[in-house]
Amino acid sequence: MSHMRVGLGYDSHRFEGKRPLKLGGVVIPFARGLSGHSDADVLLHAVADALLGAVGEPDLGEQFPPGDPRYRNADSRTFVRAAYAAVRRGGWLVGNVDATVIADAPKLMGYKAKMRQAISRLLDVRPGQVSVKAKTTEGFPPGTGGIAAQAVVLLKEAPGHRKR
Ligand code: MG
């Protein structure tokens, strides 16, 4: 079955000081941000890796090495756009994305719709094709120490694209 692909992404970042907290491209008001070389948007990192995995491209860390000064404080939407460009080059469209953010704090209930919308815009799909769920950890890692995210993406063959 060559007309669909699936990709899986996972990431986690520790809380750190007073950086802005960004999840899914949305700034979430919170006392702490996440540590990382880029803006540390753990959800977008998981989405980007899911896209890259679905098309068999090298992972985010390989393409955008942490420590490369070009990506210092980088807007992680850049990474998702790059991964999505690889998807389109391969002749694929996004069918749907399903993601889980694992965090004991902050409460994300009020931001899930915004995150869905922000991610859908990056991937040329409707918000209904993107799911963002939020889970707490009952104290298991990352617990209160940070935030983790998982994402799966389903790709479908773009109409009229001839596979090489
Ligand atoms: Mg990351």
Residue 151, CB half-sphere, CA atoms under 13 Å: how many? 30
pTM above 0.85, yes or no: yes
Contact 119, 47 (CB under 8 A): yes
pLDDT number for residue 15: 96
Rounded to the nearest angstrom, the distance between the alpha carbon of 99 and the centre of ligand 1 is 15
Distance CA 72, CA 38 (A): 5
Which band of pLDDT confidence, cut at 50, 70 and 90, is reported for residue 164?
Answer: low
Which band of pLDDT confidence, cut at 50, 70 and 90, is reported for residue 5?
Answer: very high
Q: Phi-psi bin for 156: left (phi > 0), alpha (psi -120 to 50), beta?
A: beta
Rounded to the nearest angstrom, the distance between the alpha carbon of 16 and the centre of ligand 1 is 14
- Domain locations in the chain as residue ranges: 4-157
DSSP secondary structure code for residue 3 in this structure: S
Rounded to the nearest angstrom, the distance between the alpha carbon of 133 and the centre of ligand 1 is 18
Place of tokens 């104290």: 139
N- to C-terminal Cα distance for the chain?
Answer: 15
Contact 71, 26 (CB under 8 A): no
| Cα dist from 39 to 49, 85, 91, 154, whole Å | 16, 21, 29, 26
Rounded to the nearest angstrom, the distance between the alpha carbon of 77 and the centre of ligand 1 is 12
Contact 129, 94 (CB under 8 A): yes
Q: Which CATH number fits domain 4-157: 3.30.470.20, 3.30.1330.50, 3.90.1170.50, 3.40.50.10540?
A: 3.30.1330.50
The model's pLDDT over 78-108, given as tens digits with 9 standing for 90+, comes to 999 999 999 999 999 999 999 999 999 999 9
Who's near 107: CB < 8 A, 6+ residues apart? none
- Confidence check: pLDDT of 115 > 60: yes
